[in-house]
Amino acid sequence: MVKGKTTNGLMRHLRDNHGVTIQGSKNKKELLNMGYYHGYKGYRFIGHSQNKIPYTSFDEIIAVYEFDTNLKTILYPRIMFVETAIKNYTLNTLIGMGPVDFDYVFSHLLNDYKKENTGNKNYREKMKKRLELRNKINQAISYNYAEKKAVISHFFHSNKPIPLWAIFEVISLGEFGFFLHCLNQDVRIAIAKDLGMHTTSHNQNGRIVEDIIFLVKELRNAVAHNSVVFDCRFKKTNPPSRLKGYLQSETGITNISFDNIVDYFIILTFLLKKLNITKTELKKIIREFFAESEKLRNIIPIPVHTSIMGSDFRKKVNSLKSYI
């Protein structure tokens, strides 16, 4: 039987084993609210567990925890808005190309494999992804029907084909990105044009929108599941250079690498601007983000703040204001 530590025991452990000053009822309540394992253990490093933050007081830990929590508060509604809006723009583009029941779209638009020679490696790989997409969508439909979700049940009970908008309601953002990936090049470019995101220098093959979706998906999932976001540990893959180059060209901001959270605010601002969000709202987002950064900077050591935010944080924020 494993015996756990009491809150007093955890406070003693932080003092004796980690050199963190923690005492009194205020710190005790903060530790209880934050949780030792979800809180301290999740916020004791930047990026990876070997890169530990040299905390000396529990107030510093609380500052990082609150910074992370407040970032998610700023990000969540805006990311959800972007997800819904891009799906709607995609639907609007596809409606102009014919029926939008899934069978038609699958046969006539989700056919990027056709540009390859029949049976070669690329053909097989694209066909495999196309079939995997159909399986994922069928699984989502089956699950939501079993859960009695009205948006799916209605069409089954009416003996009607399920329209694409209903499917978009029940698939994840990652699956939506997979959907974009399987569309043929002409359709991908048409969607990018409707979003105002097509350039011949960065989007020759029409992949820029799916690149954005796959990038934002990782942040979206971390925010939605209340995972740690302040140090971008949610990033699983390195975004393609064409996406970084495109964003730098569009915004005039250099050194976008997505190693620091400021870069995710850059792409979020870029997307919201493309979706016609007002300058007032965009400035509010950046103002809130910068205020949270300053609050953190006033509590933790400056070198730690620089490690979290990046040495060019202020330069990027000022450039972002100019872009808005």
Residue 4: which pLDDT band, with cuts at 50, 70 and 90? low
Is 12's pLDDT higher than 90?
no
12 assigned to some structural domain: no
- Residue pair 164/91 in contact by the 8 Å Cβ criterion: yes
Answer yes or no: pTM beyond 0.85: yes
Please state the φ and ψ torsions of residue 39, each to the nearest 5 degrees.
Answer: -90, -85
319 assigned to some structural domain: yes
14 assigned to some structural domain: no
Q: How far apart, in Å, do the first and last CA atoms of the chain sit? A: 58
6 assigned to some structural domain: no
249 assigned to some structural domain: yes
* Close Cβ partners of 277 (under 8 Å, ≥ 6 residues apart): none
The sign of the dihedral angle between the CA atoms of 214, 39, 72, 290 is negative
| Boundaries of domain holding 189 | 35-323
Residue 81: which pLDDT band, with cuts at 50, 70 and 90? very high
Q: Amino acid identity, residue 145? A: Y
Please count the other Cβ atoms lying within 10 Å of the Cβ belonging to residue 148.
Answer: 8
Nearest to 286 by CA among 310, 303, 261, 305: 261
Segment 52-65 mean pLDDT? 90
CA atoms within 13 A of residue 59's CA, in its CB half-sphere: 12
28 assigned to some structural domain: no
40 assigned to some structural domain: yes
Segment 180-191 mean pLDDT? 96
Segment 38-63 mean pLDDT? 87
65 assigned to some structural domain: yes
Chain segment 211-237, per-residue pLDDT in tens: 999 999 999 999 999 999 999 999 998
Chain segment 232-266, per-residue pLDDT in tens: 999 998 999 999 999 999 999 999 999 999 999 99
Please count the other Cβ atoms lying within 10 Å of the Cβ belonging to residue 266.
Answer: 24
Nearest to 298 by CA among 64, 137, 119: 64
Tally of domains within the chain: 1
C-alpha gyration radius of the chain: 23
Specify the pLDDT at position 192.
97
